[in-house]
Every structure is written in structure tokens, then in C-alpha cells.
């Protein structure tokens, strides 16, 4: 069993493909499915994170994981109510029970849940690899979704004040 797990955060119908479509969504789904195939080929667990809140209620159509994701029955699903996938969830216990020390991370939204989760993971001592072409977001403030994605990839790539290297790689290089 591998000491690495793949986390796919909040790639849900209402988050990425609802009223507004997330940036680069088709390419991101392709990259995430490539990461899933690579993880399965390396006997890595694939863990889906699923967000819920008042306007994204559990069980609703919007709450469902995106149907184009290559999911399998044995994949773990962690439910959360906050941006950080570790906050008030069983994610840390699940990773510890499986001996996970390294994470590949992708999903939505780049500037909220993905960033919050990866920063907490780094603080907890995980070696994190962000899937550079495997995360997405909506346009926010004065920036397009594409600009937000590129900005965060650059920020994460430049991060050197971390206990373990924070890597940013495209799915093809995982």
C-alpha cells in the first residue's frame, strides 16, 4: 500500500457546473481522471471530499459529485461543512489509519477549499503535491477564474517556507 493519497476536493455539480461554470472545467476533469488512474495504478487511496452548506444541502442534485469523475465503490468520501477539509471531519484519522504521509491535491475551489486544505496539510506535516492542471474556481472580484488558478499555482510553486517541499505538477508528471 502506498503512503500517498489523492484528495479530490468539492468537485460537485453545484460547485463547478451549476449556475456558473468553473474555469477550465473540462480540462480539469480530464486531469483529475488522469490523476485517479495514476493513483489506482500505484495502489493509492482516492478520497473524495464533499462540501455541504445551506445553499448546497446534502442529498441535493447540486451536492452530488460530478458525474464525469472516475469514481469506484471503494473510494472514501469525506463530508465537510467548512473550507478546510480537515476541519471537523474524519480526514486526519482516515489518513493516519492508512499510514498516509504524502498527498496529491486537486479540486475546487482553488482560492478557498483547495488552498485551505493544502495549507493545513502542510502544517500537519504532509508532503503535498498540488495538481497544477487539476483545480478550478469561478471568476472572483477583478480576476477571471483562469487568472486565479494561474496566480495560486505561482504562489504555491514559490512557497519555500514549508517544512517539506510543496510541489506543483501537472497530472501528466505525477
Q: Give pLDDT tens digits for 18-68.
A: 888 999 999 999 999 999 999 999 999 999 999 999 999 999 999 999 999
In whole numbers, what is the pLDDT of the chain averaged over residues? 96
120 φ, ψ (degrees, to nearest 5): -70, -40
d(CA 78, CA 86): 9
What does pTM read for this prediction? 0.96
Per-residue cell: 30: 480530464
Domain boundaries, the chain: 4-173
Per-residue cell: 91: 480526514
Predicted confidence (pLDDT) at residue 81 exceeds the cutoff of 80: yes
Of 1.25.40.10, 3.30.360.10, 3.40.50.850, 3.40.50.970, which CATH number belongs to 4-173? Answer: 3.40.50.850
d(CA 109, CA 124): 21
d(CA 120, CA 122): 5
Name residues whose C-beta falls within 8 Å of residue 49's C-beta, 6 or more positions apart in sequence: 7, 8, 9, 10, 77, 78, 80, 85, 91, 107, 113, 117
Amino acid at each position: 500500500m502506498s503512503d500517498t493519497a489523492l484528495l479530490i476536493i468539492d468537485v460537485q455539480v453545484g460547485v463547478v457546473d451549476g449556475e456558473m461554470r468553473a474555469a477550465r472545467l473540462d480540462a480539469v476533469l480530464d486531469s483529475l481522471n488522469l490523476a485517479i488512474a495514476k493513483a489506482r495504478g500505484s495502489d493509492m487511496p482516492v478520497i473524495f471530499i464533499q462540501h455541504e452548506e445551506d445553499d448546497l444541502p446534502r442529498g441535493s442534485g447540486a451536492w452530488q459529485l460530478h458525474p464525469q469523475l472516475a469514481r469506484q465503490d471503494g473510494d472514501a468520501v469525506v463530508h465537510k461543512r467548512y473550507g478546510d477539509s480537515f476541519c471537523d471531519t474524519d480526514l486526519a484519522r482516515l489518513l493516519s489509519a492508512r499510514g498516509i504521509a504524502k498527498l496529491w491535491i486537486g479540486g475546487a475551489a482553488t482560492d478557498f477549499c483547495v488552498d485551505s486544505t493544502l495549507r493545513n496539510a502542510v502544517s500537519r506535516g504532509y508532503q503535498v503535491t498540488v495538481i497544477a492542471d487539476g483545480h478550478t474556481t469561478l471568476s472572483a472580484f477583478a480576476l477571471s477564474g483562469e487568472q486565479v488558478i494561474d496566480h495560486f499555482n505561482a504562489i504555491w510553486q514559490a512557497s519555500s517556507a514549508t517544512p517539506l517541499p510543496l510541489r506543483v505538477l501537472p497530472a501528466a508528471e505525477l
